[in-house]
């Protein structure tokens, strides 16, 4: 089994279920060509990409005749566009981003609602990591004024989280000294070279980018207080904590915002395809959990948590058959 990576692709939407129905329903010789499932994930420095790769590995191992690919993307917003435009069959996105997209609540990115998005499963909780150089003098959110920060790839969920948190604290990007849109290796290089003072990163615990940065410089986590999270006014944001020992850094444990990360698709995706994907994930749960630290608690019960959009009918049926109710 191999997991393939792509930056952008044009594979056919819903081809998994469509190919199966044509092969069995028309009495013709079964098609031998590979069928394609593309999963929009994120950049390699956080949890989105390795978790997306785990989803693809499960599909490749559990669904015969499928060629699955994980797409390296800018994150939540780009993945929504890929799914809507039929450039990816599935995508990963933060709960607040999915909520804003379906409601048309972001005038800049979603001037009109996108009501066709459907939930497949909650994969893991994303923690908003706000980490800075320990020698930057930053200790609180207010100390970010005039400082240089990266807010992740342009169009990603981290950017939205950073905007929301700063707004709740009475600030905006205009109050920062400079805003960069970096990810992965670029972030590590920039903070080591003193070109930025810190970073926002919304991802699961154990983010490889922060682990790598922490090997060469001293980092400090900045607290995001519960009252700031409440001031955002979006139920997708939950008060949580980056625990002590999660990283080699100062300031831990640190209160922060937690937002669930979800696997989603379009409502036009055939129910059989969604069911097959979930069956593949849960057929070897130990292997799926072992793919990344953020997936270790993954379970049937967790997979229905915090979904801000309606579940796809195929997902709702899958969970119902196993005694778990999938509610928005």
Quick: pLDDT tens for 43-56.
877 789 999 999 99
Quick: pLDDT tens for 239-264.
999 999 999 999 999 999 999 999 99
Total number of domains in the chain:
2
User: Contact, 173 vs 179, CB < 8 A?
Assistant: yes
Cα separation, 317 vs 32, in Å, equals: 29
Same-domain check for residues 85 and 188: no
Asked, for residue 238, whether it belongs to a domain, the answer is yes
Quick: pLDDT tens for 298-312.
999 999 998 999 999
| CA nearest neighbour of 249 among 210, 199, 209 | 210
pLDDT score at 33:
55
How many alpha carbons fall within 13 Å on the CB side of residue 85?
Answer: 11
Asked, for residue 106, whether it belongs to a domain, the answer is yes
Quick: pLDDT tens for 107-141.
888 999 999 999 999 999 999 999 999 999 999 99
User: Is the per-residue pLDDT at 62 higher than 60?
Assistant: yes
Same-domain check for residues 246 and 165: yes
| Exposure string for 215-233, b = 16+ CB within 10 A, e = fewer | eeeebbbbbbbeebbeebe
Q: Name the domain boundary from 222, 239, 259.
A: 259
User: Contact, 165 vs 242, CB < 8 A?
Assistant: no
Average pLDDT over residues 145-158: 91
Q: Which domain holds residue 278?
A: 4-124+260-321
Cα separation, 244 vs 175, in Å, equals: 30
Asked, for residue 277, whether it belongs to a domain, the answer is yes
Asked, for residue 162, whether it belongs to a domain, the answer is yes
Same-domain check for residues 164 and 220: yes
User: CATH code at 91?
Assistant: 3.40.190.10
Same-domain check for residues 186 and 278: no
pTM for the model: 0.81
| Three-state secondary-structure class, residue 126 | strand
| CA nearest neighbour of 74 among 88, 54, 86, 56 | 88
User: Contact, 162 vs 151, CB < 8 A?
Assistant: yes
Same-domain check for residues 179 and 80: no
Cα separation, 184 vs 179, in Å, equals: 16
């Amino acid at each position: 089994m191999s997991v393939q990576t792509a930056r952008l692709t044009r594979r056919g939407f819903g081809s998994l279920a469509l190919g199966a129905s044509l092969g069995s329903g028309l009495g013709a010789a079964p098609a031998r060509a590979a069928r394609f499932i593309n999963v929009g994930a994120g950049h390699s420095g956080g949890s989105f990409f390795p978790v997306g790769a785990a989803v693809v590995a499960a599909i490749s191992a559990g669904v015969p005749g499928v060629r699955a690919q994980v797409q390296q993307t800018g994150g939540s917003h780009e993945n929504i566009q890929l799914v809507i435009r039929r450039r990816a069959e599935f995508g990963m996105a933060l709960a607040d981003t999915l909520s804003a997209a379906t409601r048309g609540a972001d005038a800049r990115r979603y001037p009109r609602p996108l009501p066709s998005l459907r939930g497949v499963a909650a994969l893991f909780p994303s923690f908003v990591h706000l980490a800075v150089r320990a020698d930057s003098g930053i200790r609180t959110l207010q100390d970010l004024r005039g400082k240089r920060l990266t807010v992740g790839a342009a169009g990603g969920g981290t950017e939205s989280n950073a905007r929301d948190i700063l707004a709740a604290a009475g600030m905006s990007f205009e109050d920062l000294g400079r805003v960069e849109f970096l990810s992965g290796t670029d972030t590590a290089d920039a903070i080591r070279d003193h070109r930025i003072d810190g970073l926002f990163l919304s991802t699961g615990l154990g983010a490889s980018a922060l682990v790598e940065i922490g090997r060469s410089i001293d980092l400090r986590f900045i607290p995001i207080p519960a009252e700031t999270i409440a001031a955002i006014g979006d139920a997708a944001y939950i008060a949580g904590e980056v625990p002590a020992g999660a990283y080699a850094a100062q300031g831990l444990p640190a209160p922060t915002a937690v937002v669930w990360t979800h696997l989603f698709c379009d409502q036009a995706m055939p129910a059989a395809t969604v069911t097959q994907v979930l069956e593949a994930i849960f057929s070897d749960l130990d292997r799926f959990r072992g793919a990344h630290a953020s997936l270790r608690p993954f379970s049937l019960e967790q997979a229905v948590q915090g979904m801000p959009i309606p579940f796809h009918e195929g997902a709702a049926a899958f969970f119902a058959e196993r005694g778990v109710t999938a509610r928005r």
